[in-house]
Amino acid sequence: MKPIAEIFPQLTVAKRVVIVPHQKPDADAMGASLAMMHFLRKLGHNVHVISPTNWAAWLNWMPGCSEVIDYDMLKEKAEKILDEAEWIFCLDFNAIYRTKNMTEKMNQLVCTKILIDHHQQPDENSFDYGISQAEKSSTSELVYDFIYASGHSDKITPGIMECLYAGVVADTGSFRFSSTTADVHRLVADLKQRGLEHMRVHNELFDNFLENRMRFIGHVLLNRMQVFYEYNTVLLTIPKADLLKYGIKTGDTEGLVNYPQSISGIKLVAIVIDRDEERKWSFRSKGEFDCNAFAKKYFEGGGHFNASGGRSSLSLEETVKDFHRAMKENKHLLQ
């Protein structure tokens, strides 16, 4: 993978560009993708964003989100656009398989693939150019850096600012996580000086849900939360029946794993959700417990040091048993 700066001289030559986030894109993946879309269009490129799957309805406020193509829903249209692409920007994922049902198609494409991501251990052989910095707060921060480093910061619009700010806020836990560096605050200061209305973004991100989600969260914290004080660990186990009962849709469980971190002394929080095709895990930690290594070793996953995800094809009961074993094996790291 060559340095991403090598494409800077080509940015002023119009190309057919596709931007692809990971499956089930979150606020950072969608924000970074839409910000890049608006930026490249300002430079004269023909740009489409294709998401491998659907996304949370509470992201639809983002400028340009209505134009995003859902690969699962519009496969024929999406593949025609992909076949004509000269550049494909891969945002907020480090390996092609993170595009789920798009994986086979992505591997077939012979156009230039460009990575912008902040997850550990990128599959560099799958990309022609790119930047991967795990120490960065978000892919949105990397897109902001890309715009500045390319010498085109004059192209930043209000829409770009909203998308970037949303991604940064989401992936820093509203500036709570250790990835919130001085550079992050300088980014926000720059956007504010440019006229960013940050309250609107916060309202759309955090005050834009239905009543059923609030009742679902209450139910989970009351009935599905186990606290293991001897391991300084919390486990949230959510069966499919709960998702159906409360009408939970894509994105409604976002952030739920963060709630138990407010319990004094807790070092690891895990949540497992019973999906149709697999069991999805999310992990959050405080201090020196490595979530990335934990998810990779036990649950076919990975991510960041203090925040990661995983999966299991076992039943909910069996994968929870695996977690109990993993928790006990790591007792010395959790005390």
Sign of the four-CA dihedral 28, 30, 32, 35: negative
Over 90: is that where the pLDDT of 250 sits? no
Share of the chain above pLDDT 90, in %: 93
277 pLDDT higher than 90: no
Question: How confident is residue 217, by pLDDT bands cut at 50, 70 and 90?
Answer: very high
Where are the CATH 3.10.310.30 domain residues in the chain? 211-334
**pLDDT value at position 287?**
87
Residue 238: band (very low, low, confident or very high) from pLDDT cuts 50, 70, 90: very high
Entry pTM:
0.92
Q: Which CATH architecture has domain 2-206?
A: Alpha-Beta Complex (3.90)
pLDDT confidence of residue 178? 86
Distance CA 220, CA 237 (A): 8
Q: Which residue has the tokens 């010395």?
A: 332
Dump pLDDT digits (tens) for 111-152.
999 999 999 889 999 999 999 999 999 999 999 999 999 999
Q: What is the pLDDT of residue 42?
A: 98
Cα–Cα distance for residue pair 92/162, rounded to 1 Å: 18
Q: Which two tokens stand for residue 21?
A: 């986030």
How would residue 3 be classed by pLDDT, with cut points 50, 70 and 90?
Answer: very high
Is it the case that residue 260 has pLDDT exceeding 90? yes
Give the number of other Cβ atoms within 10 Å of residue 182's Cβ. Answer: 7
Asked if residue 34 has pLDDT above 90, the reply is yes
Tell me the mean pLDDT in the region 246-252: 92
Residue-wise pLDDT for 284-312, tens only, equals: 998 899 999 999 999 999 888 999 999 99
Residue 110 pLDDT > 90, yes or no? yes
Top-confidence residue, 200 or 304: 200
Residue range 211-334 in CATH 3.10.310.30: yes
Three-state SS string over the chain comes to CEEHHHHHHHCCCCCEEEEEECCCCCHHHHHHHHHHHHHHHHCCCEEEEEECCCCCHHHCCCCCHHHCEECCCCHHHHHHHHHHCCEEEEECCCCHHHHHHHHHHHHHCCCEEEEEECCCCCCHHHCCEEEECCCCCCHHHHHHHHHHHCCCHHHCCHHHHHHHHHHHHHHCCCCCCCCCCHHHHHHHHHHHHCCCCHHHHHHHHHCCCCHHHHHHHHHHHHHCEEEECCCCEEEEEECHHHHHHCCCCCCCCCCHHHHHHHCCCCCEEEEEEECCCCEEEEEEECCCCCHHHHHHHHCCCEECCCEEEEEECCCHHHHHHHHHHHHHHCHHHHC
Encoded tokens for 102: 């798009």
Which part of the chain has CATH 3.90.1640.10? 2-206
The 10s digit of each residue's pLDDT in 39-84 is 999 999 999 999 999 999 999 999 999 999 999 999 999 999 999 9
Is pLDDT above 90 for 316?
A: yes
